Chains A and B, each alone.
Chain A
Amino acid sequence: KNEVEQSPQNLTAQEGEFITINCSYSVGISALHWLQQHPGGGIVSLFMLSSGKKKHGRLIATINIQEKHSSLHITASHPRDSAVYICAPRGSQGNLIFGKGTKLSVKP
């Protein structure tokens, strides 16, 4: 069993739709990161959170430490949001443990 499970693996949405990507993990963590990887390969850190909820523009990330679950929401999705979204909790030794990613495609 993978330590980090993301769902769905692939997601196609119409522009303007509300999107949710889920992440469940089995490792004990101190913090969890959501990353965005564009087709060229570069990775951008979207959020780092250890409790509750964070919001940045149209992006919202939530985490439930007790349930070992985090979600990334995108409101009013846009084609430029098309990317792979990666959940990465931190293991007990501080290193990131990466999910396989969710490939999002937003159609105009």
Chain B
Amino acid sequence: ETGVTQTPRHLVMGMTNKKSLKCEQHLGHNAMYWYKQSAKKPLELMFVYSLEERVENNSVPSRFSPECPNSSHLFLHLHTLQPEDSALYLCASSLGQGAYNEQFFGPGTRLTVL
């Protein structure tokens, strides 16, 4: 257990559905991250939030919409996804965003888009 939880763990959705992924940490961390891991590819950073403000958006399509209502929670809202969006979505948190802050990862949500 890393102290970062994600729900749901598995999600199957159609291309017209709207769903949300949830990430929660009670480690007192101020930075939270969304990563995408596609098959046979390295992890890709999607979004970074620091003190509830989005500080990085790595050219992610608008069909992915993050939300950080407070420092303990991070959401990823999904709508009109494509089959190529099927992947493992990982959330992480760290005390700060600086270079020497260790990131703690959640277990991931395995997403399948039909």
Contact = CB atoms under 8 A, between A and B. Distances in A.
Interface of A: 4, 30-31, 33, 35, 40-45, 48, 50, 86, 88, 90, 94-96, 98-101
Contacts of B102: 33, 45, 48
A41 B100 contact: no
Nearest to B1: A42
User: Interface residues of B: mostly helix, strand, loop or mixed?
Assistant: loop
B99 interface: yes
A95 B42 contact: no
B104 interface: yes
A55 to B, nearest CB: 17
B19 to A, nearest CB: 18
Given A41-B88, A100-B41, A30 B104 contact: no
B99 A41 contact: no
A45 B56 contact: no
Nearest to B92: A43
B42 A45 contact: no
A108 to B, nearest CB: 26
Of all A-B residue pairs in the complex, the 6 with the closest CB atoms, nearest first, are A43-B105, A30-B99, A98-B42, A41-B108, A42-B107, A98-B43
B55 to A, nearest CB: 10
Nearest to B98: A94
B68 interface: no
B42 A101 contact: yes
A98 B41 CA distance: 9
